[in-house]
């Protein structure tokens, strides 16, 4: 990976388009949305720069679990297409064992009978209705299938490497106070997530605090997730030697320190689902704030003084929608 930090001058990938001419696009934000958009545009031959307040490993994206599934964005009719496109790209990326993306079989479980499973789930190739034996009795319905599970540290490194290899440049700088601070270029893509509350500004943004527990892996190789519409979710996501346990969706004003009571509740729920976790050692905790919005904003801005495209407000589905939304940005640039 190639970064410049605090210098005001980005370091550039060798031999790529960014070093040969001025940027065609400047992307603001180096989380999963910003990096995926950067890779999409740079690999199409555009000269692209990313400006970010912090390195990818320090973004909200780095704290995610993360699994594929557009749980909290289903009211947007574009989500099915975006999530389908992202699934297909992840299936391809998973062939690279160092990418952080793996296709993992597992269970979605619900406390109530599901009258009609969502189409995004049914479309997964090995979708099968029904639950495995041995789950707690309060789970009465669900399905099993294979979906992408993403270890975010490795994956953000993968995206950064691809971006730089395509000639992209990443500059780590202080927070922007205005889009006018961006160097003049053909297009600006806003991937700032929660920061769009102030930068756009967008009063529709709703931050939601998330908390996870990281434990060593006692031999778990399938995932588990329960009712994704509740505040206290239960999920077990194996990532090689570790397992990510979740979760929580709470008040963002509660701060960024791990709450011991929440962590204890997460462990209790997950151990009820899989007793092997009783002996698992807690390695760490993760806390982040999801950039919630009634629907993701992926569109051209109406302002006249620049070509500005927004790609933010994905809530807890940023990973799930990342490649579909990045391709949408590319289409908007062409239009």
Q: Is the pLDDT of residue 318 over 60?
A: yes
- Return the residue matching tokens 């990938």: 13
Q: How confident is the model at residue 228 (pLDDT cuts 50, 70, 90)?
A: low
CA distance 236 to 149: 11
Angle ∠(116,148,107) on CA atoms, nearest 5: 45
pLDDT of amino acid 139: 95
CB 273 within 8 A of CB 107: no
Residue list for the binding site:
60-61, 192, 235, 290, 315-320
Q: What is the pLDDT of residue 319?
A: 96
pLDDT at residue 80 is higher than 80? yes
Percent over 70 (pLDDT), the chain: 91
pLDDT at position 331 over 80: yes
Q: Which of 202, 209, 211, 233 is nearest to 295 (CA)?
A: 202
Where is the binding site for D-dopa, in residues? 235, 290, 316
Greatest pairwise CA separation for the chain in angstroms: 62
Residue 294: pLDDT over 80:
yes
Work out the average pLDDT over 253-274: 91
- Specify binding-site residues for FAD: 60-61, 192, 315-320
- Calculate the alpha carbon distances from 262 to 97, 209, 234, 286 in Å: 33, 12, 12, 12
Assess whether pLDDT exceeds 70 at residue 72: no
Exposed, middle or buried, 30 (CB in 10 Å: 0-12/13-18/19+)?
buried
The mean pLDDT value of the chain amounts to: 89
- From 174, 188, 163, 191, select the one nearest 32 (Cα to Cα): 191
Decide: helix, strand or coil at residue 187.
Answer: strand
- The confidence score (pLDDT) of residue 2 equals 39
Q: Which domains does the chain possess?
A: 3-62+153-204+294-334 (3.40.50.720), 104-148+206-292 (3.30.9.10)
Output the CA torsion 276→278→281→283 (10° steps).
Answer: 90
For the chain, first and last CA: distance in Å? 31
Q: Please indicate whether residue 9 or residue 160 has the higher confidence score (pLDDT).
A: 160
């Amino acid at each position: 990976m190639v970064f410049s930090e605090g210098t005001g001058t980005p370091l550039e990938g060798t031999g790529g388009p960014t070093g040969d001419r001025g940027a065609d696009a400047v992307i603001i934000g180096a989380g999963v949305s910003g990096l995926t958009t950067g890779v999409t545009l740079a690999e199409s031959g555009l000269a692209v720069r990313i400006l970010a307040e912090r390195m990818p490993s320090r973004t909200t994206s780095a704290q995610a679990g993360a699994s594929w599934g557009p749980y909290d964005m289903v009211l947007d009719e574009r989500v099915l297409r975006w999530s389908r496109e992202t699934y297909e790209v992840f299936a391809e990326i998973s062939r690279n064992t160092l990418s952080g993306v793996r296709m993992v079989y597992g269970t979605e479980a619900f406390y109530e009978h599901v009258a009609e499973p969502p189409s995004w789930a049914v479309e997964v190739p090995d979708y099968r209705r029904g639950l495995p034996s041995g789950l707690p009795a309060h789970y009465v319905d669900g399905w099993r299938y294979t979906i992408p599970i993403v270890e975010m540290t490795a994956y953000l490194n993968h995206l950064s490497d691809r971006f730089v290899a395509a000639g992209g440049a990443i500059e780590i700088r202080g927070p922007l106070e205005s889009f006018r601070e961006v160097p003049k270029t053909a297009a600006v893509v806003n991937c700032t997530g929660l920061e769009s509350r102030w930068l756009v500004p967008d009063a529709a943004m709703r931050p939601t605090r998330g908390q996870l527990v990281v434990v060593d892996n006692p031999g778990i190789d399938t995932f588990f997730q329960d009712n994704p519409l509740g505040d206290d979710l239960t999920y077990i996501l194996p990532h090689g030697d570790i397992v990510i346990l979740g979760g929580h969706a709470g008040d963002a004003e509660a701060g960024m320190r791990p709450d011991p009571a929440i962590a204890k509740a997460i462990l209790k729920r997950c151990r009820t689902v899989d007793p092997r976790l009783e002996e698992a050692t807690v390695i760490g905790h993760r806390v982040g704030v999801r950039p919630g919005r009634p629907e993701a904003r992926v569109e051209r801005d109406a302002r006249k003084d620049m070509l500005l495209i927004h790609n933010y407000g994905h809530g807890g589905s940023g990973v799930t929608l990342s490649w579909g939304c990045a391709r949408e940005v590319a289409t908007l640039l062409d239009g």
